[in-house]
Amino acid sequence: MMTKHDLELADFAGLASRLKLVAENGCSTSLEADQARGFISEQVAFLERYKDIKNRLALNGETVGHAQIESLKSRIVDFLSAVRDRWNDKCDSH
């Protein structure tokens, strides 16, 4: 089983595949499934605008693109850590 640290090391595609599993898992609550779908949409929207922001500098010297990608990734990792059983094919009752 992947740990939170493993999720932190995963790329966007790996996180997206786990979000899809949560969204499609019949044991996910409607809130969990909706949140997973929301993160998927947010990833797609971010990747579409990333080319325009990736090299802009933020206040801390990082690029805006890097800062935003890390923020989004952190929120996704926290969510996936909280619903780990929904993307590991375990279907426990609520």
Q: Which residue has the tokens 């094919």?
A: 89
In three-state form (DSSP H/G/I as H, E/B as E, the rest C), the secondary structure along the chain is CCCHHHHHHCCHHHHHHHHHHHHHCCCCCHHHHHHHHHHHHHHHHHHHHHHHHCCCECCCCCEHHHHHHHHHHHHHHHHHHHCHHHHCCCCCCC
- How high is the pLDDT of residue 41? 96
What ranges do the domains of the chain cover?
4-87
pLDDT digits over 63-86, tens only? 777 778 889 999 999 999 999 888
d(CA 73, CA 68): 8
pLDDT digits over 6-54, tens only? 999 999 899 999 999 999 999 999 999 999 999 999 999 988 887 776 6
Beta-carbon contacts of 87 under 8 Å, excluding residues fewer than 6 positions away, are: 18, 19, 21, 22, 25, 80
